[in-house]
């Protein structure tokens, strides 16, 4: 039977870990602490009291040891069990295998009617998980109901106990890792209680939570919610504060590309889920698993924050400098808006945003390096004699816009340079006219034409947060002009 003593869980092995002795007579169960499939095999092992017989080998799937695929399990997935010189995979097969090939209480009743029903429930599992996943993308409160109704009805079939087949069995083990996750996420994200109006389901979950064999395998709910959110939920945190010019730069660049292609970053990794010192020191939600529909990371997804109330995980897990914008792509996080627009331009499809002409490229460099000076000069001018002090910065742009005559933009055609400047110039123009009665375009026809051209482009227009100069001025007034508040430049 399940031992009651709390098992000491080993830390997950990463790519630096050595291969454990293979086929030395010790059965080893390879798992990931966050994987619902692995959890099935793990619960089975625990329930049968095999903690001392089957050794747990947790893997960090994000940074898997190469030997796992090469030497242990070519499918490179978890769970897998090494036993009697063989390696067996597939969680449903494994529940059955462990149940039949090891000692401990049987997890399948003999009753043929119950066995038949077990098969029915096993074959329904994929439908169940798919239906619930699909509902996450719509209105789960409406769409997920039938999936849980099915379970409620199934739990009503045998009345000799609270479990699917009456007594605790393989079927409960197959379902609970998913029901556990769905219950948490639906309640947390959609305020939907799967047990409301489903007393059998409520009792089933309650009974399962009395079993140590299961309880000790449960995932960290907080990390689970984050993981599901990152895959299913459009993460616009209201209010959508694309007020930051630096974000606008990025959004313009993205929109420009989106206008032509659908962006793909298929290898975008899930957040680094190493949980240092946290939940039992486990690595959680470290991999994408089967049946999980393609996530939102199949495109460059915008995730907007309320900068006044940023989620803690952004700094901890995503971007330690805690600023926006940042882009998660191919297992890396890239920050700094100018680096980012260059990165997006070079690493994704779509029209190039830098001309090949070396002279233009050189000029682009010059303008990129002037950008911080421009921002500093204009924003400093807000505190002094604005009309006088801001003038030279705009004169610089007017002159720059005169350099190439094959179009109204800095390099003639629309480029990364325009994207780098427009959020600031447009914003400053509004602030100056609203707060200082200063029109930067007067006497600067090139600048006027440039702003006008950009404001014809949807890719830019959609990224503008402040359309009302009064509102923007108020934002800047508070940020820059209220005494004792240090000007923060992005």
* Residues in touch with ligand GSH (CB under 6 A): 32, 35, 37, 61, 76-79, 90-91, 287, 289-290
Please report how close the Cβ of residue 222 comes to ligand GSH at its closest, in angstroms: 18
Please report how close the Cβ of residue 297 comes to ligand GSH at its closest, in angstroms: 15
Kindly report the CA angle at 380 between 374 and 386, in degrees rounded to 5?
95
Local structure of 325: helix, strand or coil = coil
- Terminal alpha carbon distance of the chain: 60
How far apart CA 18 and CA 282 sit, in angstroms, is: 19
- C-beta closer to ligand GSH: residue 169 or 287: 287
CA distances from 25 to 53, 54, 338, 465 (A): 10, 10, 57, 64
H/E element holding 55? strand 55-58
H/E element holding 82? strand 80-83
Please report how close the Cβ of residue 9 comes to ligand GSH at its closest, in angstroms: 17
Please report how close the Cβ of residue 66 comes to ligand GSH at its closest, in angstroms: 13
Order of strands across the sheet with 55-58?
55-58, 28-31, 80-83, 86-89
- C-beta closer to ligand GSH: residue 150 or 289: 289
- C-beta closer to ligand GSH: residue 78 or 107: 78
- C-beta closer to ligand GSH: residue 60 or 386: 60
How far apart CA 343 and CA 352 sit, in angstroms, is: 11
Instruction: Let me know if 405 is exposed, middle or buried by CB neighbors in 10 A (0-12, 13-18, 19+).
Output: exposed
Please report how close the Cβ of residue 156 comes to ligand GSH at its closest, in angstroms: 27
- C-beta closer to ligand GSH: residue 285 or 343: 285
- C-beta closer to ligand GSH: residue 274 or 377: 274
Please report how close the Cβ of residue 82 comes to ligand GSH at its closest, in angstroms: 15
Dihedral sign for Cα 150, 152, 148, 164, please.
negative
- C-beta closer to ligand GSH: residue 90 or 453: 90
How far apart CA 367 and CA 330 sit, in angstroms, is: 29
Q: Let me know: does 43 contact 171? Beta carbons within 8 Å.
A: no
Please report how close the Cβ of residue 237 comes to ligand GSH at its closest, in angstroms: 28
Instruction: Let me know if 359 is exposed, middle or buried by CB neighbors in 10 A (0-12, 13-18, 19+).
Output: exposed
Helices and strands, number each (H, E), in the chain: 19, 6
- Alpha helices for 314-402 (secondary structure H): 337-347, 358-381, 386-400
How far apart CA 348 and CA 350 sit, in angstroms, is: 7
- C-beta closer to ligand GSH: residue 12 or 79: 79
- C-beta closer to ligand GSH: residue 39 or 248: 39
Please report how close the Cβ of residue 146 comes to ligand GSH at its closest, in angstroms: 24
Please report how close the Cβ of residue 72 comes to ligand GSH at its closest, in angstroms: 12
- Alpha helices for 209-244 (secondary structure H): 212-215, 221-232
């Amino acid at each position: 039977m399940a031992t009651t003593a709390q098992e000491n869980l080993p830390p997950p092995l990463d790519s630096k870990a050595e291969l454990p002795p293979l086929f030395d007579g010790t059965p080893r169960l390879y798992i990931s602490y966050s994987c619902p499939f692995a959890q099935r095999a793990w619960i089975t092992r625990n329930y049968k009291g095999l903690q001392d017989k089957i050794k747990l080998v947790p893997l960090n799937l994000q940074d898997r040891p190469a030997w796992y695929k090469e030497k242990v399990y070519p499918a490179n997935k978890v769970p897998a069990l090494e036993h009697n010189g063989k390696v067996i995979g597939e969680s449903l097969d494994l529940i059955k295998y462990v149940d039949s090939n090891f000692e401990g209480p049987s997890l399948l009743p003999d009753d043929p009617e119950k066995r038949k029903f077990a098969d029915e429930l096993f074959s329904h599992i994929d439908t169940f998980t798919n239906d619930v996943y699909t509902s996450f993308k719509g209105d789960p409160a409406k769409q997920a109901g039938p999936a849980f109704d099915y379970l409620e009805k199934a739990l009503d079939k045998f009345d000799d106990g609270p479990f699917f087949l009456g007594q605790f069995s393989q079927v409960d083990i197959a379902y609970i890792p998913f029901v556990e996750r769905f219950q948490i996420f639906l309640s947390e994200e959609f305020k939907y209680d799967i047990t409301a109006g489903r007393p059998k389901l409520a009792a089933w979950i309650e009974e399962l939570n009395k079993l140590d064999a299961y309880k000790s395998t449960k995932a960290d709910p907080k990390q689970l919610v984050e993981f599901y959110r990152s895959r299913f939920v459009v993460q616009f945190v209201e209010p959508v504060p694309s007020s930051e010019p630096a974000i606008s730069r990025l959004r313009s660049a993205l929109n420009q590309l989106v206008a032509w292609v659908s962006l793909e970053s298929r290898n975008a990794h899930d957040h680094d889920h190493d949980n240092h010192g946290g939940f039992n020191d486990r690595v959680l939600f470290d991999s994408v698993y089967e049946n999980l529909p393609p996530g939102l990371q199949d495109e460059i997804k915008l995730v907007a924050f309320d900068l006044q109330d940023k989620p803690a995980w952004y700094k901890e897990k995503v971007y330690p400098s805690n600023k926006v914008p940042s882009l998660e792509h191919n297992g890396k996080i890239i920050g700094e808006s100018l680096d980012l627009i260059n990165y997006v331009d070079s690493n994704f499809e779509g029209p190039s945003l830098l001309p090949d002409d070396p002279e233009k490229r050189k000029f682009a460099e010059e303008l990129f390096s002037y950008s911080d000076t421009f921002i500093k000069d204009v924003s400093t001018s807000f505190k002094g004699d604005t009309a006088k002090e801001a003038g030279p910065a705009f004169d610089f742009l007017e002159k720059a816009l005169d350099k190439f005559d094959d179009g109204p933009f800095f390099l003639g055609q629309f480029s990364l340079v325009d994207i780098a400047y427009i959020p600031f110039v447009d914003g400053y123009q509004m602030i100056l006219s609203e707060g200082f009665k200063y029109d930067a375009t007067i006497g600067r026809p090139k600048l006027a034409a440039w702003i006008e051209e950009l404001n014809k482009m949807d890719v830019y227009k959609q990224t503008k947060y402040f359309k009302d100069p009064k509102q923007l001025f108020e934002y800047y007034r508070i940020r820059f002009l209220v005494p004792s508040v240090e000007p923060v430049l992005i």
